[in-house]
Structure 1
Amino acid sequence: MPSYNYASYIREAIESVIKQTYTNWELIIIDDASTDSSLGIIKEYLRKDPRIKLVINEKNLGLAKTLKKGMSFAEGNWIAFLECDDIFQPTSLEKKMEAAQSGAELIFSAAEGFDNKNKIQKFEKHIEDINKYIIKLDKSMFIEGFPNFVYKTNIIPTFSVVMVKKEILAGCNFNPLCETALDYYLWAQLCFHKIYYIHEKLTLWRLHNDSYLNRKQYSWLRKFLFSISIFAQTVQNKNRIQQFFIIANSIRKRLIYFNISKNRIKLSLFNNRYIFEKFLP
Structure 2
Amino acid sequence: MSPYLNRIKPWVTVICTSYNHEAYVEQALQSVVEQAYPNVELIVIDNGSTDHTTERIEQFTQQHPAIRFIRNATNQGLNHAFNQGLALAGGRYVIDLSADDVLLPGRIAKQTELFEQLAGPYAVVFSNAAYIDPQGKKVGLHYAVDNLGHACTPVPSGNVFRNILESYFICTPTMMMRRDVLNELGGYDETLTYEDFDFWVRSSRLYRYAYVDEVLTLKRQLPDSLSAQVLLPDNNLLRSTLAVCYKAFDRCLTPDEYQALAGRIRKFMRKAFYAEQFDLALQYGKLLHQIVKPDLMSSLVLGMSHLHVPVNTLYRHYIKWKAADHLSKPV
Q: TM-score scaled to structure 2, two decimals?
A: 0.65
Q: Could you tell me how far apart the structure 2 residues matched to 1:256 and 1:209 are?
A: 22
Q: Deviations over 1:258-277 (max 9, x none)?
A: 3579xx73737459xxxxxx
* Aligned equivalent of 1:200, options 201, 206, 214: 214
Q: Could you tell me how far apart the structure 2 residues matched to 1:254 and 1:120 are?
A: 32
* Aligned equivalent of 2:269, options 240, 255, 258: 258
* Aligned equivalent of 2:228, options 203, 214, 219: 214
Q: Could you tell me how far apart the structure 2 residues matched to 1:16 and 1:224 are?
A: 31
For structure 1, which runs of at least 5 residues remain unmatched after alignment? 272-281
DSSP 3-state at the match of 1:170: helix
Q: Which amino acid aligns with 1:258?
A: M
Q: TM-score scaled to structure 1, two decimals?
A: 0.75
Larger radius of gyration: 2
Q: Could you tell me how far apart the structure 2 residues matched to 1:253 and 1:161 are?
A: 22
Q: Deviations over 1:133-154 (max 9, x none)?
A: xx713xxxx8133012210112
Residue 229 in structure 1 maps to residue 243 in structure 2 = no
Residue 267 in structure 1 maps to residue 309 in structure 2 = no
Indicate how the Cα distance of structure 1 residues 77 and 149 shifts in structure 2: closer, same or farther if over 3 A, else same: same
C-alpha contact 2:160 2:208 (8 A) present in aligned 1 = no
Higher relative contact order (CA 8 A, sep 6+): 1
Q: Could you tell me how far apart the structure 1 residues matched to 2:42 and 2:84 are?
A: 14
Q: 2:196 aligns to what? A: 183
Residue 48 in structure 1 maps to residue 66 in structure 2 = no
* Aligned equivalent of 1:143, options 157, 173, 177: 157
C-alpha contact 1:77 1:165 (8 A) present in aligned 2 = yes
Alpha-carbon offset, residue 234 of structure 1: 4.7
Q: Which amino acid aligns with 2:164?
A: V
Q: Could you tell me how far apart the structure 1 residues matched to 2:54 and 2:134 are?
A: 26
DSSP 3-state at the match of 1:106: strand
Indicate how the Cα distance of structure 1 residues 176 and 153 shifts in structure 2: closer, same or farther if over 3 A, else same: farther
Alpha-carbon offset, residue 78 of structure 1: 1.2
**What is the alpha-carbon root mean square deviation over aligned residues?**
3.4
C-alpha contact 1:224 1:254 (8 A) present in aligned 2 = no
Structure 1 segment 73-88 matched on structure 2, within 5 A: 73-88=88-103
Indicate how the Cα distance of structure 1 residues 156 and 176 shifts in structure 2: closer, same or farther if over 3 A, else same: farther
Q: Could you tell me how far apart the structure 1 residues matched to 2:113 and 2:261 are?
A: 37
Q: Could you tell me how far apart the structure 1 residues matched to 2:225 and 2:236 are?
A: 19
Q: Could you tell me how far apart the structure 2 residues matched to 1:256 and 1:93 are?
A: 35
Q: 2:29 aligns to what? A: 14
* Aligned equivalent of 1:153, options 167, 170, 177: 167
Q: Could you tell me how far apart the structure 2 residues matched to 1:54 and 1:219 are?
A: 28
Q: Could you tell me how far apart the structure 2 residues matched to 1:231 and 1:193 are?
A: 15
Alpha-carbon offset, residue 51 of structure 1: 2.7
Indicate how the Cα distance of structure 1 residues 19 and 256 shifts in structure 2: closer, same or farther if over 3 A, else same: closer
Residue 113 in structure 1 maps to residue 113 in structure 2 = no
Q: Quick check: 214-223 or 86-95, which moved more? A: 214-223
Alpha-carbon offset, residue 253 of structure 1: 6.9
Q: Quick check: 246-255 or 26-35, which moved more? A: 246-255
Residue 170 in structure 1 maps to residue 192 in structure 2 = no
Q: Work out the number of aligned pairs and report it.
A: 250
Q: Which amino acid aligns with 1:109?
A: S
C-alpha contact 1:107 1:162 (8 A) present in aligned 2 = yes
Indicate how the Cα distance of structure 1 residues 51 and 247 shifts in structure 2: closer, same or farther if over 3 A, else same: same
Q: Deviations over 1:224-244 (max 9, x none)?
A: 624623633653xx4xxx69x
For structure 2, which runs of at least 5 residues remain unmatched after alignment? 1-15, 145-150, 292-331
Alpha-carbon offset, residue 254 of structure 1: 2.9
DSSP 3-state at the match of 1:26: strand
* Aligned equivalent of 1:70, options 85, 90, 95: 85
Q: Deviations over 1:64-111 (max 9, x none)?
A: 111111100111121112110011111111111111112343111110
Q: Could you tell me how far apart the structure 1 residues matched to 2:228 and 2:267 are?
A: 25
Matched-pair identity in % = 23
Alpha-carbon offset, residue 215 of structure 1: 4.8
DSSP 3-state at the match of 2:166: coil
DSSP 3-state at the match of 2:125: strand
